[in-house]
Amino acid sequence: MKRPVLSSFVAAALAGFPWSGACAFGAEGAEGPPEVPNIFLLIQGLLPEDSPLRHFLHAHFHKGWENVVFSFLIVGATYLVLAKGMARRLRNPGRFQGAIEALGETAFNFFKEVMGERNARDFIPLVGALFFFIFFNNIIGIVPLFAAPSSTWKTTFALSIPVFLIVQTVGIVRCGLWGRIHHLMGSPKDAVGWAFAPLMFCLEVIGELVRPVSLALRLYGNILGEDILIGAFAMMGVMLMGFLGAPKCPIGIPLQFPFLFLALLTSTIQALVFSLLASIYILLALPHEEHGEEEGAAHS
């Protein structure tokens, strides 16, 4: 895939900003959808054609290791913020600690309405971490010189497969191995139920296997669509600037700016949908009597 070499690093850096319409796309022979450049792509474009580092970045970082780097950056930044905010837990917290506690309490109350208080206390570390991690993975794509790790299927499957394994583990631990199988058979209690049990078991197994695929592809498709939309309008801004008489200018009209707010909204929704579905899948794997207890507690 050919990448254009920008005239200067300053111009290249400006290309990543939301209010600019510059692009590291649209080069002759470029492949794939348009995209706003990230730091690794810009460094690659500034290096000589025969540079080993350029070939290394092209082979390993474009839609590859760059997602791992950005994900670890999110984890590290989140850890530092939480460590600073919760280092001294005061009875009368300041604004910073209070904001962190308010976010945690809001997440717990939301999932308590879905799973019940007991299950929410057990699984809020998982579903809450999923929401915030996916949310930051989504919105980092609109930050200048960064890219959204969740715009690649590798990241989304890396999130959905552990959810699938945890659901099955929770089901076996809470119900027992036979209880889990019986649950997948539709919990038959009479002759008619047992007659349809093999069919129900096959359908439930297929449904369990499809769930992580649907989780991953839903998140991947929506975030990738955001990136393509923003990249396409940024490219149109550059083309429009060239049409107006500045063909060599790397800065274009920021046509993509309004869509950044849409991306922020859809990024939040997708993080919420992923974590909400994960909590529902966990709840469905629990014994039926726990469903009734939690539903009664939620309505009381």
Query: Tell me, what's the pLDDT at 299?
Result: 47
| Cα–Cα distance, 86 to 277 (Å, whole number) | 29
Residue 116 DSSP code: -
Query: Tell me, what's the pLDDT at 246?
Result: 61
Q: Which residues pair with 145 in a beta bridge?
A: 38
CB atoms within 10 A of CB 90: 8
Query: Tell me, what's the pLDDT at 31?
Result: 54
Query: Tell me, what's the pLDDT at 135?
Result: 95
The pTM assigned to this predicted structure is 0.80
Query: Tell me, what's the pLDDT at 124?
Result: 92
Q: Which residues of the chain have pLDDT under 70?
A: 1-33, 60-63, 87-93, 245-251, 288-300
pLDDT tens-digit series, residues 28-81: 334 566 777 788 777 877 788 788 877 777 776 666 788 888 999 999 998 888
Helix and strand counts by DSSP (H, E) for the chain: 12, 0
Query: Tell me, what's the pLDDT at 130?
Result: 94
- Would you mind telling me the total number of residues written for the chain in this entry? 300
Query: Tell me, what's the pLDDT at 291?
Result: 56
pLDDT tens-digit series, residues 210-236: 999 999 999 999 999 988 888 888 888
